Structure 1
């Protein structure tokens, strides 16, 4: 190892996460192995296991490195904002990165701790942009303040996620997104004022 400095701490962790993200991008979760990541990162498996107990935990951490947070749309009305949110989510879930996300969710099963670490799967991260667009709708008089509840706010996203996770759809047609918004989401929001 002449002239080469041994990486430690954050530098080694970054190298491992970059290697794991590259491996996920190339092979999906099914091809993510500790051996492959160790080779790519130029380290050994023990260095990886000291930081992540198994390949699922490593896969979730690597996914967080490559996933992007998107700002909620502001089209001027709730219906168009909700449709745009679903269209963005549909594009993500239909993409190769979305395929990795679906694999990780399936592998995690009901492990809430790992599911919560997936940036766009935690309850707070899912609810935040929906609460923003609902807050704007309340300010415009399109919705009542009673609609500002995380479960109400995210029902459209949960229904879309169901298309991918439960039904195994590779993508959701735009008609499905429109149906979710027009037949479920908007009536739910409108009925919150009555209760």
Structure 2
């Protein structure tokens, strides 16, 4: 994503359980001194966000969803990396059984394939987001963490998905998204800046600076 595209004015609304937008649920700036749960994939966005939040005075808790992605060699290593980047605690949540159940239900209901613009859209990522959103927020609630952040940008579907699923699980949830925080965007507004930030902090991040995108299995 181009850096300038991320420097547009971010939205400041959130959505509650009934589907109405609220001005109180979303936090526009980092709540220093408070616990923040971050959906931690170990990718560049969430790694840089976690490290940045810790440096700015927040208390990040990392939660990683194991959905059985074939391109992840060692799930147990992800929480360890989160701890290295400054997480107060890091947990790996096994979401595979629930993902299978939701996938079977979608197939039985004929909801696995959607059509958008005349093209077939496999309902895989949305199902994964539903499972991730509900199960990670449930784990956060167990730990007394009621602020949730993740690496989704405000220009995609994920930010809306995570809002809704998170609030369905914890009605008291507040949302802090680094990509809605102008301070974060001004400092780390692109993948190049995030990679350089990680390197400057002493972390030899595995993704090259030149790679301008991430993948989702």
TM range, normalised to the smaller chain?
under 0.3
Using the size of structure 1 for normalisation, the TM-score is 0.27
Select the structure with the greater relative contact order (CA < 8 A; seq sep ≥ 6): 2
